[in-house]
Amino acid sequence: MYHYRMSSAPDLEQLAEIELQKEEEEDEDQSCVTDGPNSFSPDPSHPYYDVARHGIIQVCGDDKFGRKLIVFSSCCLPPSHQLNHRRLLEYLKFTLDQYVEMDYILVYFHHGLRSSNKPSVKWLREAYAEFDRKYKKNMKTLFVVHPTNFIRIVWNIFKPLISHKFGKKLTYVNYLTELREHLNYEQLIIPADVLRHDEKLRAAQKGGPPPSVKSPPPRPPLPTQQFGVSLQYLREKNPEAVIPPVMSQTVTYLKEKGLNTEGIFRRSARVQIIKDVQKLYNLGKPVDFNNYDDVHVPAAILKTFLRELPEPLLTFTAYTHIQDFLSVESSLRVSRCRQVMESLPEHNLLVAEYLLGFLHTVSQQSLLNRMSSSNLACVFGVNLVWPRHGSISLSALTPINMFTEVLIEHFPTVFGSRCPPGSRCPPTRPTP
């Protein structure tokens, strides 16, 4: 172990170099493999294709509480002479700009950073200086996975520049299994190299081969269960309600008190409150959102409910059709949306119509709430549809968001043929 004193930045930078060289000697695996269901192949027309093609930055949907997950994988960094680090910074900002108005989580996989591909400490300082308050205030947590002495020394270099509030957002994660305690682990895009490195660390810790991770057997849902069960289960247990109770109650409250709230659905509520509300619903106990005096609570609960459905509201089957949406001519996209929606099972269609009708209403107040159909699509798209296996890649987000935007913006046209003119379909007046 190297001993050092907390003196000047140059001294710490030299120690960081020593620690990085030491790490390289201990681990010679330098590949970054992202093949498989989570592999990333951006469109060559991407404005930052030269950087994006490496898969360094990935957007992985939302965590359990509706916060966007953004992953940075050091092992995917090519040698420095093959990458313009200025472009890397611009690409990172370009990606974050799409999400910084809502709460988000940043996951940094440190393994694979080497002297051959690491940015300079000077570049890191300049990069941090460029990330103003709009990037920092809504970042709820920075997870540093597989931290090393190098990371801890670099963190000390930055301490004079970092506020106490921002510093509290840093969380070190020694093993991937620890992420399961904080995030929707299945949503993460984890390079194969990071997975192998984690196995080696766990093997070294236990002095033998890493044990297989066994999930506990699933418990049968409670009769009153509302989260994590299918729409069919909810309909069987709540035969008097066409619309799931969680959805009808959150939408009703938000229609009354949340339509004019700026950034509605972009903010997350306190995690413990979300857990408490979920528990009340699952136990069949009444929930009064007036007790929380925060419209972001029912907004977050609505997103959580959708995200925890075993099959997405728009179904796994529709995912494939939606991925082809960008190839449809603009003039035909509304018709294609209607076709996809009419292909859904009847109950899914009724629930989707109820939800999208509400989101259309929210978008009509966008001058006050700043939530246009495009902004709502960015928030709700990944909560309405996702693939059967793996997580949603960055390239798959565009057609999902575009499809959702058309559904919201053109709601009367997409669903209008299902109702007599001037009237509303039954699902917009659900039984509470």
- Output the domain CATH number for residue 102: 3.40.525.10
| Position 279 in a domain | yes
Q: What is the DSSP string of 361-405?
A: HHHTTHHHH---HHHHHHHHHHHH---SSS---HHHHHHHHHHHH
Q: What is the pLDDT of residue 388?
A: 87
Question: How many domains does the chain contain in total?
Answer: 2
Q: Give the torsion sign (CA, 182, 185, 189, 195).
A: positive
Using pLDDT thresholds of 50, 70 and 90, give the confidence band for residue 242.
very high
Where helices occur in 231-332 by DSSP H, the ranges are 231-237, 245-257, 271-282, 296-307, 315-323
Contact 17, 115 (CB under 8 A): yes
What does the pLDDT look like over 325-378, one tens digit per residue?
A: 999 999 999 999 999 999 999 999 999 999 999 999 999 999 999 999 999 998
The yes-or-no verdict on residue 286 having pLDDT over 70 is: yes
| Position 225 in a domain | no
Query: The pTM is what?
Result: 0.66
- Residue from 300, 198, 100 nearest 188 by CA: 198
- Same domain? 169 vs 20: yes
Residue recorded with tokens 């419209």 = 295
> Domain boundary residue among 206, 241, 270?
206
Using pLDDT thresholds of 50, 70 and 90, give the confidence band for residue 33.
very low
| Position 303 in a domain | yes
Q: What is the pLDDT of residue 217?
A: 57
| Position 235 in a domain | yes
Higher pLDDT, 208 or 145: 145
- Same domain? 34 vs 122: yes
| Region 371-397 average pLDDT | 86
- Same domain? 255 vs 388: yes
- Same domain? 198 vs 264: no
Q: What is the pLDDT of residue 39?
A: 43
Residue 162: domain span: 9-206
Average pLDDT, the chain: 82
Higher pLDDT, 110 or 204: 110
Least confident of 28-42, 255-269, 314-328: 28-42
Residues 6+ apart with CB under 8 A from 36: 192, 390
Query: How distant is the alpha carbon of residue 321 from its chain centre?
Result: 22
- Same domain? 84 vs 121: yes
Least confident of 13-27, 73-87, 273-287: 13-27
- Same domain? 263 vs 297: yes
| Position 241 in a domain | yes
**Secondary structure (3-state) at 20:** helix
Higher pLDDT, 188 or 281: 281
| Position 215 in a domain | no
Using pLDDT thresholds of 50, 70 and 90, give the confidence band for residue 157.
low
Contact 57, 70 (CB under 8 A): yes
Q: What is the DSSP string of 40-89?
A: ----TTSTTHHHHTTT-EEEEEE-TTSPEEEEEEGGGPPPGGGS-HHHHH
Q: What is the pLDDT of residue 8?
A: 45
> Domain boundary residue among 189, 206, 223?
206
Question: CATH number for the domain including 367?
Answer: 1.10.555.10
- Same domain? 115 vs 75: yes
| Position 30 in a domain | yes
Using pLDDT thresholds of 50, 70 and 90, give the confidence band for residue 422.
very low
- Same domain? 202 vs 235: no
Contact 372, 363 (CB under 8 A): yes
- Same domain? 202 vs 349: no
Least confident of 94-98, 168-172, 207-211, 290-294: 207-211
- Same domain? 247 vs 291: yes
- Same domain? 30 vs 176: yes
- Same domain? 201 vs 312: no
| Position 212 in a domain | no
Using CA atoms, how far apart are residues 319 and 317, in angstroms rounded to an integer?
A: 5
